[in-house]
Amino acid sequence: MLYLVATPIGNLSDISQRALQTLAQADYVASEDTRKTGMLLARFDIKRPQISFHEHNKQRACRKIVGLLEQGRTVALVTNAGTPGISDPGFTLVRAALEAGVQVTMVPGPTAFVIALVLSGLPTHAFTFRGFAPRKSGRRQSFLAIDKNSPHTLIFYESPHRLRAFLADALEVLGDRRAALAKELTKMFESVKRGRLSELLANLDEAPKGEYTIVIAGAQDKRPKGSTNVER
């Protein structure tokens, strides 16, 4: 059995009893970063052998893990934080396991984009999660333009050193829509700033820190431009 185990995105108290039990009983723990996962396992006194599984070794690691699964071993897959398979190579292992006839199940838990969506104050009934945008501006603008006319709320992940460029491109391609910037979710310094894209860009910290989740209103959002609520 392959278990996909969601782990806390910040606050370790968010880990579930089922997640701890699954990790403790697995024959192996496959992880994106064995050092970070090792710290998590040590925090809960779990001693299991780890297998490195990340974007740069996913093909080789997939073969190894599927081989273990076919031998009847149990493997628990975790990501750096949150739900494996979301903006990481986890789907590659899931697909390989299914093709090999191995059972796959999920131990649910935190996912940053869901928390950010709910806290954004933007419509939640229909949304599109787009993950990380391309790094270069031209490709990023083309990426954003795909959803320019979508009525769905849009959700993105972005690193701090590309956040300003992302917001500038989003403003140019999508127009001055309502949006929210979320970071440090579930942690002591959790922050959600809300307002128009132009306002969020103008009030952005000089040197942003932390991983960001960006939530942007869909194309049919018609709220009057004056109704904003920027939080600093």
CATH class of 112-216: alpha beta
* pLDDT tens readout for residues 122-174: 999 999 999 999 999 999 999 999 999 999 999 999 999 999 999 999 999 99
* Arithmetic mean of pLDDT, 212-229: 72
Q: How confident is the model at residue 221 (pLDDT cuts 50, 70, 90)?
A: low
Percent of the chain with pLDDT over 70: 95
Q: Is the pLDDT of residue 228 over 50?
A: no
The answer to whether 69 and 75 have CB atoms below 8 angstroms apart is yes
Element (H, E) at 59: helix 58-70
* pLDDT tens readout for residues 4-18: 999 999 999 999 999
Residues with Cβ within 8 Å of residue 146, at least 6 apart in sequence: none
CA distances from residue 117 to 3, 17, 95, 174, 180 in whole angstroms, order as listed: 26, 26, 28, 18, 9
Residue that has been written with the tokens 């829509």 in this structure: 177
Q: Is the pLDDT of residue 232 over 90?
A: no
Where are the chain's structural domains? Answer: 2-107, 112-216
10 Å CB burial of residue 80 (0-12, 13-18, 19+) is middle
Tell the CATH topology of 2-107: Cobalt-precorrin-4 Transmethylase; domain 1 (3.40.1010)
Q: How far apart are CA 157 and CA 214, in angstroms?
A: 6
pTM of the model: 0.89
